[in-house]
Amino acid sequence: MVFGTEMLDFGYGVEEPDIEEESTTSGNSKPRILLMGLRRSGKSSIQKVVFHKMSPNETLFLESTNKIYKDDISSSSFVNFQIWDFPGQVDFFDPTFDYEMIFRGTGALIFVIDAQDDYVEALGRLHLTVSRAYRVNPEINFEVFIHKVDGLSDDHKIETQRDVHQRANDDLADASLEKLHLSFYLTSIYDHSIFEAFSKVVQKLIPQLPTLENLVNIFISNSGIEKAFLFDVVSKIYIATDSSPVDMQSYELCCDMIDVVIDVSCIYGLREDGNGSAYDKESLAIIKLNNTTILYLKEVTKFLALVCILREESFEKKGLIDYNFHCFRKAIQEVFEVGSLTQRTGRLQLQPSSSNNSLSSVKLGVLNGSAV
């Protein structure tokens, strides 16, 4: 099994003091995600919980961010980006703040709004931020996290989201920015909603997403599987899933399974001399629930795992599922190879239709056990 020692090599938490320093090294092709919002809105807490495994209760002791904090997330070629955590008091009119350089290299801008506070000022800052960024780079994905909703009732959550959505879009319409699209998410660090929201944000930055989704669809349709997630194991962000709707309870079960596998692997998966890794190509786990449902986890790459939800009767054909998984993993590796070549040359582009080519050398088994 696999994971404890690998986590030390991801390079999380690198702080770079000067923003000009980044502009001189902007040759790297990593997408940039900006975390912005007013002071104490929860930006740093989100970053620490999702990417640094910090307990939500520990975030209560975090100090306010007073400078731009840059975090290099390099857990795989698909989840490979930088997060810039901005202090709440950023002044766009400060001549030393080169906002054009920042927004020009940005893939997504996440604006965090504290749902438990009066968000009138936050909406004003949201409008100023996204309008300024849109004029510099209209290709940015604009995401709004309506955060700290754990303290609100279900009705209050819905009403708050509706109110924020309407006010923000009205402000854009008044400024003749109807083409600027905002996506809204209700989030909290005390449940899996923040991981679900970040998954949606990251997926928009993955050019291979249609290919990955198609591969997952082909795999589950030939294996009798009800739902499958392709997870980045470190962050528990899912970078792809099948075309069926995501049920939050199923997603939480899969996240909990990853935690169990990592915890048990770190205890029992290492060799007696302490060497090795707690997560490797032999890693797999099977959990049978008391409602005839089975959770099945298998390693796809060094950083990715496929977590499947299926019924006991479908799992009786485990050999067929494992054969199809072998084909699926081979196709994923082909996607990785094309993706890495794209990064090196800057010329190749992986088109959604290439998913059929990725399966050109793969023969999947079907439920009756015959090959196609």
Contact (CB, 8 A) for 145 and 197: yes
Phi, psi of 307 (to 5 degrees): -115, 125
Contacts of 115 (CB under 8 A, 6+ apart): 146, 147, 148, 149, 152, 157, 160, 186
- Residues 239-272: tens digit of each pLDDT: 999 999 999 999 999 999 998 888 888 787 666 6
What's this model's pTM, rounded to 2 decimal places? Answer: 0.81
Amino acid at 94: D
Neighbours of 99 (CB within 10 A): 16
pLDDT tens column, 78-130: 567 889 999 887 776 677 778 888 898 899 999 999 999 999 999 999 999 99
pLDDT band at residue 155 under the 50/70/90 scheme: very high
Among 187, 196, 192, 197, CA closest to 151? 187
Mean pLDDT score of the chain: 81
The answer to whether 127 and 172 are in contact (CB under 8 A) is yes
Cα–Cα distances in Å, from 317 out to 27, 186, 307, 323, 331? 49, 39, 17, 10, 21
Phi-psi category of 244—alpha, beta or left, where left has phi over 0 and alpha has psi -120 to 50? beta
H or E element, residue 251: helix 248-268
Contact partners, residue 2, CB within 8 Å, separation at least 6:
265, 269, 277, 278, 279, 280, 282, 283, 299
State the CB neighbour count (10 A cutoff) for residue 64: 11
Q: Which domains does the chain have, with CATH numbers?
A: 32-205 (3.40.50.300), 208-344 (3.30.450.190)
Grade residue 31 by pLDDT with cuts at 50, 70 and 90. Answer: confident
